[in-house]
Amino acid sequence: MYTYIDAEITEHHSLAVASQRVEHGVICLLSALQFHGIGTQAPFEVWVAIDVHARRPNLDVLSLRPVYMSGLALTVGIETHAIEGTPVQIFNPAKTIVDCFKYRHKIGLDVTLEALRESWESRRCSMDELWEYSKICRMSKVMRPYLECLS
């Protein structure tokens, strides 16, 4: 990716690069948590959700962690943010937390619970949003005990 010498490089530069290189990708999981300021995780790779039928992106410049999704799990809860003049698709906080429960074996249950607790305390998402996305992603049975503890 080419840029001007005096260009303003932000902390989310890698998200902008990933968005330009992976056309239909959506920033997810740990990268989305970091973007939204939830939790203490600082991922060393960019987590990107792509369609299950898509080929694995080949990026030499950027460390990328693809996560395969399909159907509504890939298309709902997307926000578009401008990072360094580039439109970047990122899952909203509620959808990101539900995805953390879905992929808790990859990122860890402690990270998932920290994100849920912090987003609930800072009012980043509502119980209704979490429940709606949990039904879409088929995580309602897994998340029910944790959501009942919050309310």
Over the stretch 84-93, which tens digit does the pLDDT of each residue have? 889 999 999 9
E strands, 1-151, are 26-27, 46-51, 64-69, 78-83, 86-91
- pTM tops 0.85, yes or no: yes
Mean pLDDT lowest among 55-59, 63-67, 98-102, 106-110: 55-59
Averaged pLDDT, 102-107: 96
Asked if 66 contacts 48 with a C-beta cutoff of 8 angstroms, the reply is: yes
Tell how many helices (H) and how many strands (E) occur in the chain: 8, 5
Confidence of residue 150 (pLDDT cuts 50, 70, 90): confident
Instruction: Enter the tokens of residue 54.
Output: 């898509």
* CA-based torsion, 117, 121, 125, 131: positive or negative: positive
What CA–CA distance (Å, rounded) separates 6 from 123?
37
Question: Nearest 5°: phi and psi at 108?
Answer: 105, 140
Q: What is the CA radius of gyration of the chain?
A: 15
Instruction: Using the predicted structure, report yes or no on whether residue 61 has a pLDDT greater than 70.
Output: no
Averaged pLDDT, 8-32: 88
